[in-house]
Structure 1
Amino acid sequence: MVIQPDSEVVNGRVLLGTGPPTREELLVYYPARFTWEQLKCFVNSGDLGLLKRDKKLQKRYNAWAEGIKGKYGSMVNYLLNYRLQWGQPDTLSLLGSALDESVLSKGTREPLDPSVSRPLPPIPPDAPPYFAADTPKKFISIIQNDWPYSVPPEVEHALIWTRLPIFHPDLIPSSIAARVEQDGLWGFTGTTTLPPSPSLLPTYLPALSEWGITTDKLIRSAKGTDEEEALVKRAGSHIDAFVRQRWVEDEWETAWFVNPPRLQSVLGLAHIHVFARHK
């Protein structure tokens, strides 16, 4: 099965298609609603619900998802039987990444039988207890987000899917468990300056007016003690190390986040969002 872009260019004009968008479609029909600085501020705010997809693109996604569910039975089956490529580079994305320029065979994967539901195989006894910078590739699938959030055109939106836990008792002591359960984890790499302060949110929130976001609707924990803040940073340290290893800091600046456990969408899998801007 070969994925072909549903959009095409005729007489220099990008035609609007269906299914996952091309980069040209994103530029023409779904332009970014917020800047890189605003995006970093939203990530740093503690309310990861501020990261949004263009409303028109969301509508297109919803229509596509219905077709995918009809073919595969569920979005989980689509991910497991087709989209995720454990231990391999992403050859299916229409958007691509500057990190995968050496991948020449785009869109050439044959899907497994979509009528057969395939649960994830059990984690072997000798597997690491949780996701870390040295996690074996067979437990990881790094793909481009086919339906990216409304990020600037120079920013790549990647997803790191992993079969190993990200939230683990050895990393998250009980004193910060409730906070992580509500807020998730986030961090920044490739910069010597502090990320934009959440105090800037009143200035940046108008960029989210289309979604009806106001200050009183934010959901985030109050700043903890120095000890609690250190524990939260430690809880995300393995993710941070992995991101720094893949997106080398001399070349990339990133903002990453992991939704809290209550918002993880696929049982047995976890994923990390990475917004990466090439310097």
Structure 2
Amino acid sequence: MSEVVYANDTRYPGPKSHPAPANVTGLPTQAELDAYPRLFTWGELKEIIMTGQLGQLMRNTEMQYKYDQWSAGMKKQFVSTENYLVHTRLPFKPTTSRAAEPTYDLSTSLDQPQPQCQPQSLLSPPTPASGSSTPSSVGFVSLASLKAVNGKLSKGKSDGESGEEEEEEHQAEYLRYDNENGLDPEKYAVLPNDWPYNVPYGVRHFCVWSKVPIAHPLLIDFDPAAWAKIEDEGLGGFTGVAPALSSPLLTPPSSTNGAATPGTTVGRGTGQGQNQLDLGKPDWYARDLRRGGKEMARWSGVEYESAGGAEVGKMVKGLWDERGWECIWFVNPPRLQSVPGFSHFHVFARRKTPEEIDAAEARLNGMA
């Protein structure tokens, strides 16, 4: 996966990731991926994530065909996608709990064109949230499987039940991010998606793999309705969103005759100390927001994080610094998951331009 850098501006590099080793062949190059027409704009991807319509994400039709052919050959060699990931891609062997069954892979809705009946052994018992069985998932802790849920969903609890609940909450293990210590390499790994979805130019598709579950009822305080929504739509969110324009703009340099006003540096450099004015540094990106098209105006300042997504959002912010990156992340719901034993979430990472980075730094420092 090629690195995205604009005008030699390397501020806020992305996280360390694990590319495919040389012995894994047949994967598409970035040049091959870029040769296909774009299916979605950045705003359209945000709309898909915000509305929970994750099944709409896809590859180009020919790329999907190539993926299917490659996947068939991979399974002849490794028998399953799980074995492929363990033996060639993941830097660790995922730990699977005794109660966990299947989770999802890099597939899209095109991989599963028709709903298929799940064997009863792969279905979790009905939960108070869903009222029906849903595919089990390492990434999702079953609401019905927790002892604490009975106390949370009933009006009264005995002292003994309260103690049980507190003990279970204390022992609960699910994805968390420690801002001070950063990513725990014993639990998590960042990998470029070998067969990424179709995304806008300059955007890269990553998967963050986890040894522990991602979605846990504790994250929504065991709320049955909220958990039902997570089971149906998954989780999602945005990070690094540029704030909506809310303050007056500085007077820009005169450009009536193509010449700069005195004391002005014109032109694009590295984004570090460029475009300076003697009386202050104008927010060029804010001007672009005001002058841009409908989609730019529609999504300016629009932030989103689904209920239960706080820990994943925190991890994405920690890995892709918001000053240098805007990200869309999501966790597929159990119904879109198909590979047993692996928990992960997806990240579409868009490298910001130097002007956007300047604007993000200025706002962070209280300069704008």
Q: What is the TM-score of this pair, normalised by structure 1? A: 0.63
Maintained 8 Å contact 1:165/1:269: no
Equivalent residue number for residue 132 of structure 1: 176
Residue deviations 1:208-233, cap 9 Å, x none?
xxxxxxxxxxxxxxxxxxxxxx9x84
Give how far 1:162 is off: 0.7
Structure 2 CA distance for partners of 1:23 and 1:127, relative to 1, 3 Å:
farther
1:47 aligns with 2:95: no
1:161 aligns with 2:209: yes
Which residues in structure 2 correspond to 1:18-37 (within 5 Å)? 19-28=26-35, 30-37=36-43
Equivalent residue number for residue 141 of structure 1: 189
Q: Secondary structure at 1:191's aligned position in 2?
A: coil
Equivalent residue number for residue 22 of structure 2: 3
1:239 aligns with 2:312: yes
Structure 2 CA distance for partners of 1:250 and 1:157, relative to 1, 3 Å:
same
Maintained 8 Å contact 2:39/2:60: yes
Work out which structure has the larger RCO, using CA pairs closer than 8 Å and 6 or more positions apart in sequence.
2
72, 78, 82: which one aligns with 2:84 = 78
Which residues in structure 2 correspond to 1:206-225 (within 5 Å)? none
Give how far 1:193 is off: 4.4
Residue deviations 1:113-168, cap 9 Å, x none?
xxxxxxx9xxxxx9970001136321112100111111012001000111100121
Give how far 1:239 is off: 0.2
Residue identity matched to 2:227: A
Structure-1 separation of matches of 2:21 and 2:229: 44
Structure 2 CA distance for partners of 1:233 and 1:37, relative to 1, 3 Å:
closer
Matched pairs, number: 195
Decide which structure has the larger Cα Rg and report it. Answer: 2
Equivalent residue number for residue 5 of structure 2: none
Give how far 1:275 is off: 0.3
Structure 2 CA distance for partners of 1:26 and 1:267, relative to 1, 3 Å:
same
Structure-2 separation of matches of 1:246 and 1:238: 12
Q: What is the TM-score of this pair, normalised by structure 2? A: 0.49
Structure-1 separation of matches of 2:21 and 2:212: 30
Q: Which runs of 4+ in 1 moved over 3 A?
A: none
CA-atom RMSD in angstroms: 2.8
1:267 aligns with 2:340: yes
Using the aligned pairs only, state the percent identity: 41
323, 328, 331: which one aligns with 1:255 = 328
185, 205, 210: which one aligns with 2:235 = 185
- Return 5+ residue gaps in structure 2 as ranges: 1-19, 94-137, 139-169, 245-293, 296-303, 353-368
Structure-2 separation of matches of 1:263 and 1:151: 19
Structure 2 CA distance for partners of 1:140 and 1:53, relative to 1, 3 Å:
same
Q: Secondary structure at 1:131's aligned position in 2?
A: coil
Maintained 8 Å contact 2:86/2:92: no
- Return 5+ residue gaps in structure 1 as ranges: 7-18, 88-119, 121-125, 195-202, 205-229
Structure-1 separation of matches of 2:171 and 2:72: 35
Structure 2 CA distance for partners of 1:128 and 1:86, relative to 1, 3 Å:
farther
Maintained 8 Å contact 2:81/2:339: no
Residue identity matched to 2:60: D
Maintained 8 Å contact 1:5/1:22: no
Bigger shift: 67-76 or 40-49?
40-49
